[in-house]
Chain A
Amino acid sequence: MRMNESIEPVNQYLSFVLAGEEYALGLVHVKEIIECSALTRVPGVPAWIRGVLNLRGSVVPVIDLAVKFGLPATAITRRTCVIVVELTVEREQMVMGVMADGVDQVLELAANDIQPPPPFGPKVRIDCIEGMGDSNGRFVVLLNMDRILSSSELVAASDAAQAEATNDLAALEEITVA
């Protein structure tokens, strides 16, 4: 491993199954993997935010990439899990959960194991894909988590900013001017 590194850097990815396809995300982002239990729904947020859960006292949002990719929402079964990731969005650390039908394995991929994304095929927007990884002859879609979130977050932010302006007016108790 070490020796390898000097010749050819190897990146680690965690592969998981979602809606019958195999995806992977950079292991550096992954904090832990937990069982998907008792999600609390949050009203008025985009459908790809499935809810929030309690991670040892912090309230963490859980996102469903299937919805993000325009597929039916992931059904919660006994095997559904949540990959807790830490991302840097606009220079701020953000912890969130990513739903998966199952977690597969840790892949070690060198640069030449990764091929550029095909112009068609995967259900994911092309700019959210880092490339296609080769895992024992099968192709795995390598997701660019920072990209996925920055694009989606911007959408959420612009919606929310509008709502917020009216929202904030609730704090206004009274104005008396002659």
Chain B
Amino acid sequence: MSESDRQQLLNLFAAEAEENLASFEDLLLQLEAAPQQIELLHDIFRAAHTLKGSASCLQFNELTAFAHVVEGTLDRLRNREVDVTPQRISQLLNAVDALRDLSARSVAGNCMLTIGEKELLASLSGSAVEPKTQTPAVTPSNANAIRSARSLRVDMEKLDRMLDLTGEITIARGRVHDLIAAAESRERLVDAVREVDRLSRSLQELVMSARLVPVGPALRHFHRVVRDLAAGGQKRVNLVIEGNEVEIDATALEHLKDPITHMIRNAVDHGIEKPEDRVAHGKSATGTITITAAHESGAVVIRIADDGRGISEIEIEKRARAAGIDTERLSRREVLGLIFQPGFSTAKKVTEVSGRGVGMDVVLRNVHALRGTVSIASQPGVGTTITLRLPLTIALIEGFAVSVGEETYILPIDSIVECVELPADSGSDACGVLRLRGVPIPFVRLRQLFHLDTPSPARENVIIVEREEEEQRAGIVVDALIGAKQTVMKPMSRLLQRPIGVAGSSILGNGRVALILDPEEIARLAAA
């Protein structure tokens, strides 16, 4: 077998093992909720058996042996020799973690068992005896050990349609060449080029849609996270997931995993109260966290709601003052925004997983990077709801091109309210105020803001954008308006970090790079 063949097999094994173990884990959690459902055990057994089979094909002997012991335990459960207890489920979940780890290590060529794994193996084989100490895994240790190597499963039908379209594009391009060679009439040439355009746009849309994946499988993993966190914090939490079938860009979903994990941790650790406290407040002993995915007016919305104690503004302020922040000088929004600052936490006590002041800043950073927004609604004693709103496609935006001197910039078209000529009496300072139908609107000149040294033209245009916060309008002054076009957003180099006012970059028809602006940030500078 050649090296590349073996590598392909290993990749396939890694992907399958991850899928298998994910369903193993999921089924275990279902079994915990419904111990009498013997069919679940059959499915779990099948998942373990499949893993054992593929491991032995690749001669991963340690992994095969481990899976075999797990099978033995499952068999005893199936035959009612031992009972399904939360301890047993924990033990098996630990086994899932170990199998995950071991699979990843086997693929990497290191299949030695760790001491912890040997102990686990011993306790599994002597499964009739209760393990003496039972420590529930608080952190889902290596849930991401097998990274799905940035690959994606695509519906065969979609691929076929892509292939058809590329074929049609080739034919249409051939026709354009023929027409040019034969010096045919202009109209027929224009028609042929239009056809190429139409086809390439369909292809682009199809490729974009191939990047969409349902959120369900990724969210399922949070059942385990919630279970382990709840066990660690002596809480009772029920996780409800709604909207499994909602599709979202695969990359966006990847970037959302960390933020959702942090929000879930916050909800379990700080939101949901201890069972006795909940009962004392007239709530049910078990708290509920709901993750909802939905499409709402051209955006994907992910909502995480808990019915816990909620966030109190007084608590945030107290905490801020304790940290030496002068809250008198801050607006209410800024005070509340503090919970997103690194190193800031309202948690009364620091637990293993949260309350160390990391987390919410990650939520904000990742969501902002995806051009999304975050909103929080909370009521003390009732609960907290955090809503993430993200654009449907992250790579394609409807843009509006403008120019300043020799530079071209692109603004997302949905942020633009209108474009007008800047009144002649608007001075020449970087910032100013113009009156539009009697309403004063602050504006900023892009030339000065970006320190461009080209001379200003006699007539300038101003683009009026709506600021999401405070519902104010602001103007961005440019030289000329070029027009609307669909734009493919390219990531910026890490070297550039994220310059203020710039959301990304794109390549123009002439091969030059154009920056995509963040109107919200620029407008904020105008108003400042």
In the complex, how many angstroms separate the beta carbon of A40 from the nearest chain B beta carbon? 4
A149 vs B494: C-alpha distance in the bound complex, in angstroms? Answer: 12
Q: Is the CB of B492 within 8 A of A59?
A: yes
Contact pattern, A 59-72, Cβ under 8 Å of B = 1, otherwise 0? 11101000000000
Q: Is the CB of B389 within 8 A of A177?
A: no
Q: Is the CB of A167 within 8 A of B521?
A: yes
Q: Is the CB of B376 within 8 A of A160?
A: no
Q: Is there a chain B Cβ closer than 8 Å to A7's Cβ?
A: no
Q: Is there a chain B Cβ closer than 8 Å to A3's Cβ?
A: no
Q: Given A40-B514, A177-B311, are A168 and B501 also a contact pair (CB < 8 Å)?
A: no
Q: Is there a chain A Cβ closer than 8 Å to B249's Cβ?
A: no
Chain A neighbourhood of B407, CB < 8 A? 40-41
Q: Given A43-B451, A175-B336, are A61 and B342 also a contact pair (CB < 8 Å)?
A: no
In the complex, how many angstroms separate the beta carbon of B498 from the nearest chain A beta carbon? 6
Main secondary structure of the interface of B (DSSP, over half): mixed
Q: Is there a chain B Cβ closer than 8 Å to A28's Cβ?
A: no
Q: Given A44-B499, A61-B496, A177-B379, are A171 and B374 also a contact pair (CB < 8 Å)?
A: yes
A159-177 residues at the B interface, CB under 8 angstroms: 160-161, 163-165, 167-177
Q: Is the CB of A170 within 8 A of B365?
A: no
Q: Is the CB of A164 within 8 A of B498?
A: yes
Chain A neighbourhood of B372, CB < 8 A? 171
B21-48 residues at the A interface, CB under 8 angstroms: none
A44 vs B491: C-alpha distance in the bound complex, in angstroms? Answer: 17
A54 vs B493: C-alpha distance in the bound complex, in angstroms? Answer: 12
Contact pattern, B 491-513, Cβ under 8 Å of A = 1, otherwise 0? 11111111111100101000111
Chain B neighbourhood of A20, CB < 8 A? none
CB < 8 Å neighbour of B389 from A53, A96, A173: A173
Most chain A CB within a 10 A radius of its CB, from B333, B368, B497: B497
Q: Is the CB of B501 within 8 A of A94?
A: no
Q: Is the CB of A173 within 8 A of B374?
A: yes
Q: Given A38-B511, A43-B451, A168-B340, are A177 and B312 also a contact pair (CB < 8 Å)?
A: yes
Q: Is there a chain A Cβ closer than 8 Å to B105's Cβ?
A: no
Most chain B CB within a 10 A radius of its CB, from A42, A63, A92, A163: A42
CB < 8 Å neighbour of A170 from B389, B492, B507, B520: B520
Most chain A CB within a 10 A radius of its CB, from B376, B452, B495: B495
Q: Is the CB of A59 within 8 A of B513?
A: yes
- 7 contacts across the A-B interface (CB closer than 8 A): A40-B512, A42-B496, A42-B499, A44-B501, A170-B524, A172-B333, A176-B376
Name 12 extra pairs, CB < 8 A, besides A59-B491, A163-B498, A169-B340. A40-B505, A52-B505, A53-B513, A167-B498, A168-B361, A170-B368, A172-B337, A174-B469, A175-B376, A176-B376, A178-B310, A178-B378
